[in-house]
Amino acid sequence: MKKRIVIIGGCAAGPKTAAKSRRMNPDSEITLFTKSPQVSYSACGLPYYVGNRIDDIKKLEIRTVDDFKKNNINIHLNSECTKILPHKKEIIVNNEYVPYDDLVIATGAIPNTPNIKNCKLKNVFHLRFLSDGVNVKNIAKMSKSVLIIGFGYIGLEMVEAFLNNGLKVHIVENHPHIMSFLDEEFSDLVEKYIKERDKDLVEIYKDDLVTEFIGEEQFEAAITESGKRIEADFCLIATGVEPNTSLAKDAGVMLGYANAIKVNHKMQTNIENIWACGDCCTKYCLITKLPTYFALGSIANKEGRVCAINLNGEEEHFPGVLGSSVTKYYDFSISVTGINHHWVMDRCREHNVEAISATVTKLDRPSYMPEARPITIKVMADKKTGKLIGAQGVGIGDVDKRINIMTSALLKGATVDDFMHLDLTYTPTISGTIDPLLTACYKLKEQM
Amino acid sequence: MKKRIVIIGGCAAGPKTAAKSRRMNPDSEITLFTKSPQVSYSACGLPYYVGNRIDDIKKLEIRTVDDFKKNNINIHLNSECTKILPHKKEIIVNNEYVPYDDLVIATGAIPNTPNIKNCKLKNVFHLRFLSDGVNVKNIAKMSKSVLIIGFGYIGLEMVEAFLNNGLKVHIVENHPHIMSFLDEEFSDLVEKYIKERDKDLVEIYKDDLVTEFIGEEQFEAAITESGKRIEADFCLIATGVEPNTSLAKDAGVMLGYANAIKVNHKMQTNIENIWACGDCCTKYCLITKLPTYFALGSIANKEGRVCAINLNGEEEHFPGVLGSSVTKYYDFSISVTGINHHWVMDRCREHNVEAISATVTKLDRPSYMPEARPITIKVMADKKTGKLIGAQGVGIGDVDKRINIMTSALLKGATVDDFMHLDLTYTPTISGTIDPLLTACYKLKEQM
């Protein structure tokens, strides 16, 4: 009999598992259920659709139902799985029982909903599905102002998107500094750039919390903990996500860190023949060797691939993650990898790692090149072993390249000594003779 | 008595050694002799000065004589050292004896001069000193056509520089394909781009050799081995460089690979108190563990720094190089690292390394982003150990980032298995979910 692979979830990890499974095993029966009206779409592209950099929402559909059909993969849209019955090896979708030989849970993450009074109003949005993007773009086109709650990656990307639509943007962040995964000095540089570039167009409220919405049916204003009243034509909530795991939990699938589904390096859960991948799963931090959690499309895709390989009888281990991430606000980049945040450092200390750091601000190219731009990079190492453990960077120069070079160095535990002489490429149009990363390592070396 | 540090050579490694020595040892007497009329300049910037991207030649002077004077470093311009007397610990400059406690040879590289009949004509140039850049730019402004001999990095950069001055460019390369350090398929992509972009403006003659110049005093035309006559208003010779080591050799300093000065990881030569760094020295290849040679400003600067550290009594080892390099032709990048060239592969085979490779052409960002551009990347590994050994890449997309990520992975001998799940950053404006580098690794994995 044909092996029946059933996948729940249609954004990134699920479709990836389906496509890779098909390539590995032409004979299996592959069925994917998603509660969304689309499958295999790039939610990460939504800010650029709203911001008019992508003209057609259809471009964010990576693969359509027809594409999958051609590969003999059955996609059921608008089909929410309501129960998993592991002992029967069945799931329930639209009140029907669907049997599986192998089940893949790729239910992703759902937006955090902050505790706000009177929050069930029209004109309050999250960004998750393509339809959210369409709705937000439509209202942006008719509006003059917006309130964004949450100043992380999506918050920042949506500031740009709304500015591109000519809106006045209000944005509230409950941390004392924006992009709170950055160190304060780096966060300040981001805020400075926004203020220099878009002075009167962006109003930032830090260290404050929206507690109540004003309006009868429609959103009219928000009241904050500090007593501010912020009026806007509509509101976008971007306060992060949490793993979408209630379905799995009800079925007895074990959860771990951050209430995400606990998986091993083969993407297996605690229940036989039930696999999980993507934003609904725990991650393993390559530096701390501890469980961690990130909801990132890059990781989801890789996990989907590894999941497919293992469930189709070959073996491959997904080693873990570094939490590498990047975004841009117009020409200004923000990028991090590994252990670089103050709060992770605290966690390090608990594990007897003494982290040291060095920060460098330097041009990304020789000063004589007109295209030279400054970047600020912080590199961190474990003082005892000399091993590099992470980096963060911001600036209008090429930050992302440096962070990825560091990501690669973290892979095999390069030390400051190993890394400081690294033979990086050099040509005046792209880079300088001594990269800012290496200058930071020279400074680290002096501390050791 | 104050320690007397004498340095011969004023481009990159020499000035770096001087500056770092001063920071380490405020009391030493530091004297630098250079036969050039400038010190501490970026020869790598000359194509961009000629090509009108840098408006003032003075911008290429990284540090002036006055800058050094302020740090109590004596610079002697136009001062050629004609002899080293190791037994007396003296050198001869302008017929005067100059004593040293430590001598640093940083004499760099000199242009290869091809064997051409009637080559002593006016209007035939090399690019080495800033004055060469000024002379070439002046003649370019008055001319309509140019012949470049040699199609490597400098040749390519000068094609762009001359096109920016409105010239018709003829360029001769004796290898069967241009940029001969690339594999043929990659070289072809570069040539295709040039032809698409600048069809009638660039005439490329491959697999041919200039054997004779025509002209009485002034260059008028070149005759090639295949019998072609190429007319142009002036000629630039860019056929690579060789280490400038005759002075060192005469003094009994041992030469090694490629007739470069043999140095250890501390930048010591075979003669006590004589050090060497920069383009005049042998390099050590981190992958093959064999001596090699590259003339690159990035390496020269790093070696100058390490040389200074060791000669001032501390210890630091320069581990070696990967031959990482990059250049751009307008928006098209070419970048390599490690063992990626067919001829190095041949050398590998001699040492019992079976190299395998995978080539991927892919967009550098998600296809829905308007700024997505293709890159072609080849990744190589040692089949037996699975270790990555190098990569080359070309394209209008962000090639250089990928090559540097690979450079970093080569540092600690990452294998294909280690690298293929690497947690690189992702955001649609900068990169895709699965980087082309990782896709190449998936393909390599299939071959293993």
pLDDT reported for residue B347: 65
Are B33 and B4 in contact by the 8 Å Cβ rule? The answer is no
Whether A297 has its CB under 8 Å from any CB of chain B: the answer is yes
pLDDT reported for residue A344: 61
pLDDT reported for residue B354: 82
Nearest 5°: CA angle at A352, between A348 and A354?
70
Are A276 and A269 in contact by the 8 Å Cβ rule? The answer is yes
| A433 to chain B: closest CA residue | B298
Are B428 and B365 in contact by the 8 Å Cβ rule? The answer is yes
Are B116 and B212 in contact by the 8 Å Cβ rule? The answer is yes
Are B123 and B219 in contact by the 8 Å Cβ rule? The answer is yes
If pLDDT is split at 50, 70 and 90, which confidence band does A122 have? very high
Strand-pair category, B4-8 with A388-395: unpaired
Are A296 and A283 in contact by the 8 Å Cβ rule? The answer is no
Residue range A62-105, pLDDT digits in tens: 999 999 999 999 999 999 999 999 999 999 999 999 999 999 99
Whether A54 has its CB under 8 Å from any CB of chain B: the answer is yes
Distance CA A339, CA A288 (A): 8
Q: ipTM of the predicted structure? A: 0.95
Min distance B438 CA to chain A CA atoms (Å): 10
Question: B299: which chain A residues are within 8 Å (Cβ-Cβ)?
Answer: 423
Amino acid found at B394: V
Residues in chain B: 448
The strand ranges marked E within B314-371 are 325-329, 332-338, 355-363
Whether B369 has its CB under 8 Å from any CB of chain A: the answer is yes
pLDDT at residue B62 tops 80: yes
Distance CA A172, CA B395 (A): 42
If pLDDT is split at 50, 70 and 90, which confidence band does B288 have? confident
Distance CA B107, CA B112 (A): 15
Whether A299 has its CB under 8 Å from any CB of chain B: the answer is yes
Distance CA A356, CA A338 (A): 14
Are A65 and A157 in contact by the 8 Å Cβ rule? The answer is no
Please list the residues that pair with B283 across neighbouring strands. Answer: B292
pLDDT at residue A347 tops 70: no
Distance CA A284, CA A303 (A): 12
Whether B214 has its CB under 8 Å from any CB of chain A: the answer is no
Whether A425 has its CB under 8 Å from any CB of chain B: the answer is yes
pLDDT at residue B150 tops 60: yes
| Max CA pair span of chain B | 70
| A296 to chain B: closest CA residue | B426
**Across the interface, do B427 and A327 touch by the CB < 8 Å criterion?**
yes
Residue range A214-224, pLDDT digits in tens: 999 999 999 99
Helix-helix angle B436-447:B399-410, to 10 degrees: 50
Distance CA B363, CA B439 (A): 12
Of the candidates A366, A403, A426, the beta carbon closest to that of B296 is on A426
pLDDT at residue A341 tops 70: no
**Across the interface, do A306 and B406 touch by the CB < 8 Å criterion?**
no
| B46 to chain A: closest CA residue | A428
Neighbouring CB atoms inside 10 A of B195's CB total 13
Interface with chain B: mutation pick from A277, A421, A438, highest number of B CBs within 10 Å: A421
Residue range B170-179, pLDDT digits in tens: 999 999 999 9
Whether B154 has its CB under 8 Å from any CB of chain A: the answer is no
pLDDT at residue A402 tops 60: yes
**Across the interface, do B407 and A413 touch by the CB < 8 Å criterion?**
no
Min distance B400 CA to chain A CA atoms (Å): 8
Whether B26 has its CB under 8 Å from any CB of chain A: the answer is no
Residue range B296-337, pLDDT digits in tens: 999 999 999 999 999 999 999 999 999 999 999 999 999 999
Distance CA A207, CA A2 (A): 57
Whether B431 has its CB under 8 Å from any CB of chain A: the answer is yes
The half-sphere exposure of A315 on its side-chain side, counting CA atoms within 13 A, is 1
Residue range B242-283, pLDDT digits in tens: 999 999 999 999 999 999 999 999 999 999 999 999 999 999
Min distance A373 CA to chain B CA atoms (Å): 15
Distance CA B257, CA B254 (A): 10
Q: What is the mean pLDDT of residues B403-411?
A: 97
Of the candidates A53, A318, A428, the beta carbon closest to that of B44 is on A428
**Across the interface, do A298 and B327 touch by the CB < 8 Å criterion?**
no
Question: A393: which chain B residues are within 8 Å (Cβ-Cβ)?
Answer: none
If pLDDT is split at 50, 70 and 90, which confidence band does B397 have? very high
**Across the interface, do B424 and A298 touch by the CB < 8 Å criterion?**
yes
pLDDT reported for residue B56: 96
- Interface A–B counts its CB contacts (< 8 A) at 212
The half-sphere exposure of B206 on its side-chain side, counting CA atoms within 13 A, is 11
**Tokens representing residue A36 in the block:** 């969304």
Of the candidates A302, A409, A423, the beta carbon closest to that of B434 is on A302
Whether B428 has its CB under 8 Å from any CB of chain A: the answer is yes
Whether A413 has its CB under 8 Å from any CB of chain B: the answer is yes
Of the candidates A327, A422, A425, the beta carbon closest to that of B325 is on A425
Of the candidates B320, B404, B419, the beta carbon closest to that of A425 is on B404
pLDDT reported for residue A346: 66
Min distance A86 CA to chain B CA atoms (Å): 30
Distance CA B267, CA B320 (A): 11
**In whole angstroms, how far apart are CA B269 and each of A165, B105, B316, B328?**
65, 9, 15, 35
SS3 assignment for chain A? CCCEEEEECCCCHHHHHHHHHHHHCCCCEEEEECCCCCCCECHHHHHHHHCCCCCCHHHHECCCHHHHHHCCEEEECCCCEEEEECCCCEEEECCEEEECCEEEECCCEEECCCCCECCCCECEECCCCHHHHHHHHHHHHHCCEEEEECCCHHHHHHHHHHHCCCCEEEEECCCCCCCCCCCHHHHHHHHHHHHHHCCCCEEEECCCCEEEEECCCECCEEEECCCCEEECCEEEECCCEEECCHHHHHCCCCECHHHCECCCCCCECCCCCEEECCCCECEEECCCCCEECCCCHHHHHHHHHHHHHHHCCCCCCCCCECCCEEEEECCEEEEEEECCCHHHHHHHHHCCCCEEEEEEEEECCCCCCCCCCEEEEEEEEECCCCEEEEEEEEECCCHHHHHHHHHHHHCCCCEHHHHCCCCCCCCCCCCCCCCHHHHHHHHHHHHC
pLDDT reported for residue B343: 58
C-alpha torsion angle, residues B336, B337, B339, B343 (rounded to 10): 30
Q: What is the mean pLDDT of residues A109-114?
A: 91
Whether B404 has its CB under 8 Å from any CB of chain A: the answer is yes
pLDDT reported for residue B206: 97
Distance CA A333, CA A190 (A): 9
**Across the interface, do A405 and B408 touch by the CB < 8 Å criterion?**
yes
pLDDT at residue B342 tops 70: no
Percent of chain A residues topping a pLDDT of 90: 92
Residue range B347-390, pLDDT digits in tens: 666 667 788 999 999 999 999 999 999 999 999 999 999 999 99
pLDDT reported for residue A1: 77
Question: A408: which chain B residues are within 8 Å (Cβ-Cβ)?
Answer: 405-406, 408-409, 414, 419, 422, 424
Whether A404 has its CB under 8 Å from any CB of chain B: the answer is yes
Smallest Cα–Cα separation from A106: which of A10, A246, A24?
A10
**Across the interface, do B405 and A405 touch by the CB < 8 Å criterion?**
yes
| B416 to chain A: closest CA residue | A411
Nearest 5°: CA angle at B87, between B86 and B91?
40
| A128 φ/ψ angles, rounded to the nearest 5 degrees | -140, -55
Question: A153: which chain B residues are within 8 Å (Cβ-Cβ)?
Answer: 427
Nearest 5°: CA angle at A406, between B300 and B388?
80
**Across the interface, do B59 and A322 touch by the CB < 8 Å criterion?**
no
Whether A378 has its CB under 8 Å from any CB of chain B: the answer is no
**Tokens representing residue A113 in the block:** 């909903």
**Across the interface, do B412 and A408 touch by the CB < 8 Å criterion?**
no
Of the candidates B318, B409, B434, the beta carbon closest to that of A408 is on B409
**In whole angstroms, how far apart are CA A105 and each of A130, A267, B139?**
21, 10, 69
If pLDDT is split at 50, 70 and 90, which confidence band does B234 have? very high
Whether A337 has its CB under 8 Å from any CB of chain B: the answer is yes
Strand-pair category, B332-338 with B388-395: antiparallel
Q: What is the mean pLDDT of residues A157-166?
A: 98
**Across the interface, do B45 and A431 touch by the CB < 8 Å criterion?**
no
Residue range B63-90, pLDDT digits in tens: 999 999 999 999 999 999 999 999 999 9
Question: B414: which chain A residues are within 8 Å (Cβ-Cβ)?
Answer: 408, 411-412
| B221 φ/ψ angles, rounded to the nearest 5 degrees | -165, 165
Q: What is the mean pLDDT of residues B116-129?
A: 94
Whether B323 has its CB under 8 Å from any CB of chain A: the answer is yes
pLDDT reported for residue B289: 87
Whether A45 has its CB under 8 Å from any CB of chain B: the answer is yes
Helix-helix angle B297-311:B13-24, to 10 degrees: 30
Are A140 and A146 in contact by the 8 Å Cβ rule? The answer is yes
Alpha-helical segments (H) within B26-93 = 46-50, 65-70
Distance CA A167, CA A162 (A): 6
Whether A70 has its CB under 8 Å from any CB of chain B: the answer is no
pLDDT at residue A338 tops 80: yes
Distance CA A320, CA A266 (A): 11
pLDDT reported for residue B448: 87
Question: B400: which chain A residues are within 8 Å (Cβ-Cβ)?
Answer: 401, 425, 430-431
If pLDDT is split at 50, 70 and 90, which confidence band does A339 have? confident
pLDDT at residue A343 tops 60: no
pLDDT reported for residue A48: 98
If pLDDT is split at 50, 70 and 90, which confidence band does B339 have? confident
Question: B403: which chain A residues are within 8 Å (Cβ-Cβ)?
Answer: 425
Report the range of poorest mean pLDDT among A11-25, B138-152, B257-271, B339-353: B339-353
pLDDT reported for residue B345: 63
pLDDT reported for residue A353: 73
Min distance A95 CA to chain B CA atoms (Å): 35
**In whole angstroms, how far apart are CA A172 and each of A111, A229, A253, A261, B240?**
16, 11, 36, 31, 58
pLDDT reported for residue B1: 77
**Across the interface, do A302 and B54 touch by the CB < 8 Å criterion?**
no
Min distance B119 CA to chain A CA atoms (Å): 30
